[in-house]
């Protein structure tokens, strides 16, 4: 059996718990990247009169993405994001905060998809949360 290899990246440093569960995802290099707020680019990316669904896979940076989404969140039908059950990234958001934040923005958690597990003990470390604006889902 060949060893697991993967390319992982995050704007936040990984914590020891994550490194222990995914030693193949250890630090390799740093890159300079341009980060833009969703609110600033939404008009050019999202067609008018559409009801977009936002899927985030930002490796611990979800809080910052949501913070930068601003009024772009108002037009979203739903959101899917990774939610950590244990701290995996420095200053990363845990699932309780994600649920509270999105609920406060008018979304309802409607489903979860199990994700990243610790291969040593099978503990679930991350899951995707599926959130919808239930009042808009049938419009």
Say what angle helices 62-69 and 38-45 make with each other, to 10 degrees: 70
Q: How far is CA 31 from the centre of its chain?
A: 20
Rounded distance between C-alpha atoms, residue 8 and residue 28, angstroms:
10
pTM (two decimals): 0.82
Per residue in 28-55, pLDDT tens?
Answer: 777 888 888 888 888 888 888 888 999 9
User: 5 versus 117: which is more confidently predicted?
Assistant: 117
Rounded distance between C-alpha atoms, residue 2 and residue 102, angstroms:
40
User: Is the Cβ–Cβ distance between 84 and 130 less than 8 Å?
Assistant: no
How large is the C-alpha radius of gyration of the chain?
16
- The single-letter DSSP state of residue 83 is E
Rounded distance between C-alpha atoms, residue 58 and residue 8, angstroms:
10
Least confident range from 9-13, 21-25, 55-59, 134-138: namely 134-138
């Amino acid at each position: 059996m060949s060893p697991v290899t993967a390319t992982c990246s995050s704007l936040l440093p990984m914590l020891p718990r994550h490194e222990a569960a995914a030693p193949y995802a250890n630090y390799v290099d740093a890159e300079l990247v341009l980060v833009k707020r969703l609110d600033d680019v939404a008009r050019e990316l999202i067609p008018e009169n559409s009801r977009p669904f936002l899927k985030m896979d930002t490796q611990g940076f979800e809080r910052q993405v949501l913070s930068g989404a601003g009024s772009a969140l108002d037009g979203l039908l739903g959101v899917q994001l990774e939610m950590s059950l244990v701290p995996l990234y420095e200053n990363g958001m845990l699932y309780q905060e994600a649920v509270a934040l999105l609920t406060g923005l008018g979304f309802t958690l409607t489903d979860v998809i199990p994700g990243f597990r610790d291969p040593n003990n099978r503990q679930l470390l991350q899951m995707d949360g599926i959130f919808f604006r239930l009042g808009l889902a049938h419009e």
